[in-house]
Amino acid sequence: MLNYIKLKYKGGIQMKLINLYKHLRTISKHKWYVFCACKDIGIPYRGLKHDLSKYTPIELFASAQYFQGTKSPIDAEKTAKGYSLAWQHHKRKNSHHWEYWIDFKDGQVISLKIPYNDVIELICDWVGAGKAYNPSNWNQKVPYEYWIKHKHKYILHPETEIFINQILVDIYTFGWDLTKWLIKSNAYVY
């Protein structure tokens, strides 16, 4: 019966209540894993506030409407509409996303160097996402493999790209436990 109950909010979007529940469960699980990773490296506050914008109406309702359970609802919204207002909101509210650090000058794209704690939260985000969305297949290679597969889509400051790559290579080579200890010990120069 729950599958047939639909919500309609003032924006006119209808969604199944069950999709809203499933999406809330998914993002909360993801936030938990990111919080654990951030806590382990000494930035628990970053983990607590990580992706809180996903609970705002603009992001929550759009993501619930396009929820499938197997891939990003943002990508599904972009496929359906050609854009995603939820994503526009999300990347502007969360400085751990590389898109937050893009600017334009005289028609040229400029990538700013992402601050240290934002890069670390980004790494924790990828670790947490892997553990939340594919827990049975997560291992120390997953974050690096994700990076290799997607980095050509990113516009990053050269120092940020080198820093991200170094940490992900270390996770791949030495494992998450040793790498998070190195991060917490301020062993990385950035």
Q: Which tokens is 121 given?
A: 């939260």
| Residue 14: predicted pLDDT | 57
Model confidence, pTM? 0.88
| Residue 1: predicted pLDDT | 34
| Phi, then psi, of 15 in degrees rounded to 5 | -150, 155
Q: Name the one residue in this structure whose structure tokens are 């997607």.
A: 150
In contact, 138 and 130? CB cutoff 8 Å: yes
| Phi, then psi, of 97 in degrees rounded to 5 | -90, 135
Q: Which positions ≥6 away from 170 have C-beta within 8 Å? A: 178, 179, 182
In contact, 109 and 102? CB cutoff 8 Å: yes
* Among the listed residues 179, 122, 126, 125, the one whose alpha carbon sits nearest the alpha carbon of residue 156: 122
Q: What is the pLDDT along the chain (190 residues), one digit of tens a residue?
A: 343 344 455 444 555 788 999 999 999 999 999 999 999 999 999 999 999 999 999 999 999 999 988 788 999 999 999 999 999 999 999 999 999 999 999 999 999 999 999 999 999 999 999 999 888 899 999 999 999 999 999 999 999 999 999 999 999 999 999 999 999 999 999 9
